[in-house]
A and B are shown apart, each in its own frame.
Chain A
């Protein structure tokens, strides 16, 4: 979740490939005892507000593809990159599919925090995951796989999660709400209701924090990697379950789980791994929470654009689309109307 215009990241011109290459070569030199040769490099599209550089390298005679992830010059966020490292480390420890962490600012310091991971081949663009003929098998098992992944996350021994922050859902929501330039009746009412009806907190567990289509790499064999661990925290596992099922992430599909499947498949797989049955009413509360949070993020995005790169026209377009997210909030709230 980023309230930041992509083009702002490059307001000082395109990021310097030479500097990023030096960062990668230095890190691999420390690891291997010899410098790799860089065969090619390019800046991947997407990646939210981070730079994701794809390097093809030869290390000790073997070719491989690596991804260097770091922040742009004018928006360095050490805490997020620390969480990215923590999340990738946890994923590997509990056998959740994720890019394998090769190096980071912990193994060799640089002018900013970074991670280097192996490149995972596959599809991450949601609409292609929805429609590509060769991914039909992956679509059929996606809900089950995601349920199992979230079950594992929820069962993570907490000694693996030392250093992760406990995030209170109402504090988080109210934080975003208080930054909103002007309140809207829908979000004002939703935040008030969520505050008064929050379920009792359970034992905290590891929460990815942005678990959805778009942050999954999918291949013919299923989910190959969960990406973007920079929002990992301790909290309620229902946050991830409900976030995956947000209407905003269904991309026109009918099924509540990522637009592809029914809840039963997700819940059964989650319960099978975690040993905990899903409380549907609690899940529904988290659906409202997620829809409200995303609407608030979109509102802030419109505001930041207004204050940022001076593109008032795009800002106006984004601001006018916030109502689509508010409609999602109301759709989730309808269940609770007396």
Chain B
């Protein structure tokens, strides 16, 4: 018979901290600003924090050989964004090769979903 385990204390993780700071800027700082330019910049800051939140939440996406966020498929097939870029730039690989195109589509879709201004689900 399972017994409820007592909760283990844990400080807020990175996602939660970023979310809290974004909410503070959005709900407490921005509404009291009369300077339109500053208000705009606060909105940009909030949008960037939301983006960071989405990027953190996007794990487990893979890091490539250079430590850049990529997809597991792209890293597994090509090693790193740099290596793929070089192969495409020299003509060693073509962007129209189905495996290349598919890997780039997945990678770009991941980037788009992180960059999207929509609120994280």
Assembly CA distance A327 to B105 (angstroms):
7
Please tell me if the beta carbons of A333 and B41 are within 8 angstroms of each other in the complex: no
A184 within 8 A of B: yes
Given contacts A183-B89, A320-B115, A337-B98, contact A189 B104 (CB under 8 A): yes
B18 within 8 A of A: no
Chain A residues lying within 8 Å of B51, measured Cβ to Cβ, are: 317, 320
Q: Which of B47, B95, B96, B115 contacts A186 (CB 8 A)?
A: B95
Assembly CA distance A185 to B83 (angstroms):
9
Chain B residues lying within 8 Å of A321, measured Cβ to Cβ, are: 115
B92-111 interface (Cβ within 8 A of A): 93-98, 100-101, 104-105, 107-109, 111
Given contacts A192-B88, A313-B45, contact A186 B98 (CB under 8 A): no
B4-47 interface (Cβ within 8 A of A): 41, 44-45, 47
Q: How far is the CB of B106 from chain A (nearest CB, A)?
A: 10
Please tell me if the beta carbons of B84 and A185 are within 8 angstroms of each other in the complex: yes
Please tell me if the beta carbons of B108 and A189 are within 8 angstroms of each other in the complex: no
A contact patch SS = helix
Please tell me if the beta carbons of B109 and A184 are within 8 angstroms of each other in the complex: no
Chain B residues lying within 8 Å of A3, measured Cβ to Cβ, are: none
Chain B residues lying within 8 Å of A313, measured Cβ to Cβ, are: 41, 44-45, 48
A150 within 8 A of B: no
Give the nearest-CB partner of B81 in chain A: A185
Please tell me if the beta carbons of A327 and B95 are within 8 angstroms of each other in the complex: no
Please tell me if the beta carbons of B100 and A189 are within 8 angstroms of each other in the complex: yes
Given contacts A184-B85, A330-B104, contact A316 B48 (CB under 8 A): yes
Please tell me if the beta carbons of B44 and A189 are within 8 angstroms of each other in the complex: no
B contact patch SS = helix
Give the nearest-CB partner of B93 in chain A: A189
B60 within 8 A of A: no
| Residue-wise interface mask of A (176-196) relative to B, using a CB-CB cutoff of 8 A (1 in contact, 0 not) | 000000011110111011001
B1 within 8 A of A: no
A164-207 interface (Cβ within 8 A of B): 183-186, 188-190, 192-193, 196
Please tell me if the beta carbons of B115 and A323 are within 8 angstroms of each other in the complex: yes
Chain A residues lying within 8 Å of B45, measured Cβ to Cβ, are: 313
Please tell me if the beta carbons of A188 and B89 are within 8 angstroms of each other in the complex: yes
Q: How far is the CB of B27 from chain A (nearest CB, A)?
A: 19
Given contacts A313-B41, A313-B44, contact A192 B91 (CB under 8 A): yes
* Total number of B residues with any Cβ neighbor in A under 8 Å: 29
Assembly CA distance A321 to B101 (angstroms):
20
Given contacts A193-B96, A314-B44, A338-B96, contact A330 B105 (CB under 8 A): yes
Q: Which of A184, A192, A327, A334 contacts B94 (CB 8 A)?
A: A192
A326 within 8 A of B: yes
Give the nearest-CB partner of A316 in chain B: B48
Please tell me if the beta carbons of B41 and A186 are within 8 angstroms of each other in the complex: no
A324 within 8 A of B: yes
Assembly CA distance A326 to B81 (angstroms):
14
Please tell me if the beta carbons of A188 and B85 are within 8 angstroms of each other in the complex: yes
Please tell me if the beta carbons of A190 and B89 are within 8 angstroms of each other in the complex: no
Assembly CA distance A98 to B96 (angstroms):
41
Given contacts A188-B88, A193-B96, A338-B98, contact A327 B44 (CB under 8 A): no
Chain A residues lying within 8 Å of B47, measured Cβ to Cβ, are: 317
Assembly CA distance A186 to B93 (angstroms):
12
Please tell me if the beta carbons of B89 and A192 are within 8 angstroms of each other in the complex: yes
Chain B residues lying within 8 Å of A193, measured Cβ to Cβ, are: 94-96
Q: How far is the CB of B109 from chain A (nearest CB, A)?
A: 7
Chain A residues lying within 8 Å of B112, measured Cβ to Cβ, are: 323-324, 327
Chain A residues lying within 8 Å of B105, measured Cβ to Cβ, are: 330
| Residue-wise interface mask of A (306-338) relative to B, using a CB-CB cutoff of 8 A (1 in contact, 0 not) | 000000011011001101101100100110111
Give the nearest-CB partner of B95 in chain A: A189
